[in-house]
Every structure is written in C-alpha cells, then in structure tokens.
C-alpha cells in the first residue's frame, strides 16, 4: 500500500511539473495568436491586402501550434477529447512561445522569407534538368447509323493530338500541339474516293507565368498574371470542356455549332483576382482569361487587319463540404479595328454557364450553358453521375437556333450514354446521339467511343 501511495505521489508531482512548464508557453502562444489576429484585422481595415496575405498563413500556423499545446495538456490530464478550435491540427508540434513586441514582427518577416526561399528552391528543383514532356490523345470510335439511308456503319479516328511541353527558366514555359483529323472525302486523279488526313498546328506559344507587376499595377487586391504569346486556346471552349468532359464523344455546344474557334493566334492574359479579403459574401477568387487574336482560327491565315477581343470571368460563389457551385461569363467582339476605323456595331456574343459539382450522394455534376450572338441563340444542359466505381452515366440536351431571322432554322441535340474508365489512360463510352434540324432527324447514331491518352 505504501508503494502505491509513493508511486501516486511521484506521478502527481511529475504531472504538476509538466503542466506548469507548459502553461507559460501556452499563454504566450495565445497572446501571439491574438496579436496576429489584430494585425490581420488592421491590415484588412486599411485595405493593405499584401500584408494581410502574409499574416494570414502565420495566423493559421500559430493557431495550429496553440491547438497542439492545448491537446497535449488535455492528454496529460487524462481528457482524450479534442478541444473544439484545435481539431485536426498537428498535435506533435508544440513549439516555443512567440516573442513579444518587435520580435513578433521580426518573426513574421523571417517566416515569410523562409517560405519564399523554400518556394524558390522547390521551383529550381522542379525546373532544372528536365527535358520536354511528350503526351498525346486519340479518339477512336465505331458508329452505327440508325437513320434510314444514313452514313454506313464504320470505324473512325476523329482526332489525334500530339503535345510537347517544356518548362523554361524564370518561370516561363512553352507548348507545341498538333491536331490530326479527317476533314473530308475527296476524289483523286483516278476518280477513286480517297481519305485525306490533315495535320494542323493547334497550339504553339510561350508563356510568361506569374508576372510580378504588383509594384507597377497596384489593383488593391492580390492577383496573378500569365501571358501567352502565340497560338493558344481561346476564352470559352476549352473552359467548358472542364464541365462537359466527354469531348471524345461530342464537342461542346459552342464548338459543335462553330460559334467561334477553339484556338487562335495572338496574345492571351490569364490569372486570378483574390477578393476574399474584402469580406463580401459569395465574393472570393475570380479567374479571368482575356484574348486579343486574329479571329480566323488555327486552320486559316488572317485575312483582314482587324482583331477579335474576348474575355471570360469565372468564380465559385458558393461551396460546402460535399460540393460547390461555379459560374462563368464570357464576352466576344469581332473585327475590332486597331487603326482608328469604325468600331460601331461589332459582332458580339455572350456566354453564360453555371455548374454544380457534388460528392454526396456519389460524385456527380450538373451544368447549363447559354450562348447569344447576332441572330444566334443556344442553350445546353447536361450532367454526369458515377453510379459505381469507374462507371458514369452522362447526358446532354442542346437547343440551338443558327439564324433567328429564319423561321424553323433550329437544331436540337440529345446525347445519352454510359462510360467505363479502364484505368487512367483509357475511357470507353457507349452512347446514343440524335440531332435534328427543323424538326427532322439529321443524325441518329449508336456508337462506341473511346479516348486513349499517353
């Protein structure tokens, strides 16, 4: 009995000693957290977004450290429950307490400098010693035409892309992509029908990434800027392929009806504006993609001195644990004179989109796309749902009027299918497509489409 009492007394003595040794650092760490919070509030109030962006990660790290120390004390006291504000923090980093006064500012600057140095080292490691990466995609299909007197059932290769990318020094990169496709059936000199494949240059540009212009272009909020010079993607079609992810089955609505081209030669500016620090509900990061290009696309040479201007803005105004809502806006102006000519009555188009991604119950997406231009209007709605691992059902319904001045010049497109993902590189889809023109069947097919990437 005496031994048990002795052990108990030794244990209590050690507990009091350890608790006392931890209490002081915890109080100092709590004071450090409060100090950072006040500095962040002051920076936001003064609209000093650059300083607020630096303080925010330091505050999060300080809160994590405080939570770790509190969790350790609770474990020593026998309470296994986690304190509310420190949930999911790393419970092994019980660091020394933060200094006071000017030393806190010094610590902030040192931590920021170390973070920037680490980023530069990682960047050098990633960029150095790497050759260009080569990849590609091919769309291979078998189509059974269900329409009376339709096209014969046949195997086909609709697209082959070869893609070369290379990271350059100072954060620059370059991309070169070819597009191989069958465009038409022609007759050769002997009078026999021949198949012709054409090789197009889809992308050929260099990019200047994360250009540091904050000193010369103070917008008041954190932002990023990348410039692409050469032939690159236009503002809308590639973006919509992030939501209609079945390009190997069918093009997006605006691409299918050729509202504008998917790539062109000129200059593009991409990046984001971080408006979260403004504290406006639903207003966070806004991504942008602006282009100033020939307008003739990547298959034809420029035929006039005018240029086309386009811009896309997109954001996530609402998100929650198992989903998010994305919205996008696109605008397009054609034949903009840069030589002082008449810019009245430009051909313009407007694009709107909204998408809902969710992971409960199951992974899925619903989206809608709207397009409006002179005499043109279209609406597309679709979605996908993973009902079993690697098995996805998908569908899309389009209604498109190519010329609203002509009665009945309307198109409709219905797509329904099921996809199986054969690993990371191969996708297979069994789908049915029915396109109508002026109420009559234009195409009516049952097809097996596939995409292979390497």
Q: Mean pLDDT in the chain?
A: 81
302-316 pLDDT per residue, tens: 888 888 999 999 999
pLDDT at 432 over 50: yes
- Section 153-158 average pLDDT: 91
Q: How far is residue 70's CA from residue 36's CA, in Å, rounded to a whole number?
A: 19
Please give the pLDDT value at position 225.
93
pLDDT at 50 over 70: no
Q: How far is residue 390's CA from residue 419's CA, in Å, rounded to a whole number?
A: 8
Please give the pLDDT value at position 105.
61
Cα maximum dimension of the chain: 113
- For 148-216, the DSSP string reads TT-PPPEEEEEEEEEEEEEE-GGGEEEEEEEEEEEEEEEE-TTS-EEEEEEEEEEEEEEEE-S---TTT
Q: What are the tokens at 39? A: 């500095």
300-349 pLDDT per residue, tens: 888 888 889 999 999 999 999 999 999 999 999 887 777 766 666 666 78
Q: What are the tokens at 19? A: 């608790």
Q: How far is residue 167's CA from residue 125's CA, in Å, rounded to a whole number?
A: 12
Q: How many residues does the chain have?
A: 454
Please give the pLDDT value at position 29.
73
Task: Give helix 2-45 / helix 102-127 axis angle, nearest 10°.
Answer: 80
pLDDT at 16 over 60: no
CB atoms within 10 A of CB 406: 11
Task: For residue 272, give Cα distances in angstroms to 167, 276, 284, 285.
Answer: 21, 12, 10, 7
Task: Give helix 49-76 / helix 102-127 axis angle, nearest 10°.
Answer: 100
Bridge partners (DSSP) listed for residue 392: 386, 419
Q: How far is residue 256's CA from residue 310's CA, in Å, rounded to a whole number?
A: 19
CB 76 within 8 A of CB 18: yes
CB 429 within 8 A of CB 450: yes
Task: Give helix 49-76 / helix 2-45 axis angle, nearest 10°.
Answer: 170
**Strand-pair category, 376-388 with 364-373:** antiparallel
| Confidence band, pLDDT 50/70/90 cuts, at residue 64 | confident
| Confidence band, pLDDT 50/70/90 cuts, at residue 11 | very low
| Of residues 241, 202, 231, 164, the one with CA closest to residue 451 | 241
Please give the pLDDT value at position 55.
80
Listed in sequence order, the residues at least 6 apart from 44 whose beta carbon sits closer than 8 Å to its beta carbon are 52, 277, 279
Q: How far is residue 235's CA from residue 223's CA, in Å, rounded to a whole number?
A: 19
Q: How far is residue 39's CA from residue 48's CA, in Å, rounded to a whole number?
A: 11
Q: How far is residue 61's CA from residue 277's CA, in Å, rounded to a whole number?
A: 18
CB 336 within 8 A of CB 343: yes
pLDDT at 183 over 50: yes
Q: Which domains does the chain have, with CATH numbers?
A: 2-124 (no CATH), 132-453 (2.40.160.10)
Listed in sequence order, the residues at least 6 apart from 1 whose beta carbon sits closer than 8 Å to its beta carbon are none
Phi, psi values for residue 236, rounded to 5°: -120, -45
Please give the pLDDT value at position 309.
93
- Section 139-148 average pLDDT: 92
pLDDT at 357 over 70: yes
pLDDT at 170 over 60: yes
**DSSP-based three-state secondary structure for 364:** strand
CB 355 within 8 A of CB 365: yes
- Section 5-20 average pLDDT: 44
CB 292 within 8 A of CB 266: yes
Task: Give percent of the chain above pLDDT 90.
Answer: 46
pLDDT at 179 over 90: yes
Bridge partners (DSSP) listed for residue 289: 270, 312
Please give the pLDDT value at position 306.
84
pLDDT at 281 over 80: no
């Amino acid at each position: 009995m005496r031994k048990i009492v002795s052990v108990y007394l030794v244990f209590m003595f050690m507990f009091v000693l350890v608790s006392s040794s931890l209490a002081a650092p915890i109080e100092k760490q709590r004071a450090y957290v409060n100090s950072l919070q006040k500095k962040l509030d002051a920076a936001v109030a003064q609209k000093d977004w650059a300083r607020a962006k630096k303080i925010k990660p330091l505050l999060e790290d300080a809160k994590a450290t405080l939570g770790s120390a509190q969790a350790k004390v609770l474990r020593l006291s026998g309470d296994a429950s986690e304190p509310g504000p420190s949930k999911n923090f790393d419970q092994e980093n019980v660091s020394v307490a933060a200094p006071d006064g000017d030393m806190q500012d010094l610590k902030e600057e040192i931590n920021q400098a170390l973070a920037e140095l680490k980023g530069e080292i990682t960047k050098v490691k990633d960029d150095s010693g790497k050759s260009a990466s080569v990849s590609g995609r091919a769309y291979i299909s078998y189509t059974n035409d269900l329409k009376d007197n339709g096209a014969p059932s046949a195997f086909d290769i609709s697209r082959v892309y070869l893609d070369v990318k290379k990271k350059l020094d100072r954060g620059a990169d370059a991309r070169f992509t070819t597009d191989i496709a069958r465009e038409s059936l022609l007759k050769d000199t002997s009078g026999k029908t021949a198949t012709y494949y054409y090789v197009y240059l889809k992308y050929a540009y260099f990019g200047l990434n994360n250009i540091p212009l904050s000193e010369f272009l103070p917008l008041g909020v954190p932002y990023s800027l990348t410039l692409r010079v050469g032939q690159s993607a236009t503002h809308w079609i590639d973006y919509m392929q992030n939501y209609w992810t079945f390009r190997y089955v069918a093009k997006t609505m605006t691409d299918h009806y050729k509202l504008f081209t998917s790539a062109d030669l000129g200059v593009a500016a991409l990046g984001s504006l971080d408006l979260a620090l403004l504290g406006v509900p639903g207003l966070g990061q806004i991504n942008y993609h602006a282009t100033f290009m020939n307008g003739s696309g990547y298959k034809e040479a420029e035929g006039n001195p005018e240029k086309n201007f386009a811009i896309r803005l997109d954001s996530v105004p609402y998100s929650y644990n198992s989903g998010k809502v994305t919205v996008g806006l696109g605008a397009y102006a054609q034949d903009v004179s840069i030589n002082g000519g008449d810019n009245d009555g430009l051909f313009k188009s407007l694009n709107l989109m909204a998408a809902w991604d969710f992971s409960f119950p199951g992974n899925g997406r619903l989206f809608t796309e709207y397009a409006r231009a002179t005499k043109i209007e279209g609406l597309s709605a679709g979605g996908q749902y993973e009902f079993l691992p690697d098995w996805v059902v998908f569908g899309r319904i389009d209604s498109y009027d190519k010329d609203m001045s002509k009665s009945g010049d309307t198109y409709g497109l219905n797509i329904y299918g099921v996809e199986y993902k054969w690993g990371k590189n191969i996708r297979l889809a069994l789908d049915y497509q029915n396109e109508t023109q002026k109420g009559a069947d234009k195409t009516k097919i049952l097809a097996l489409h596939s995409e292979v990437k390497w």
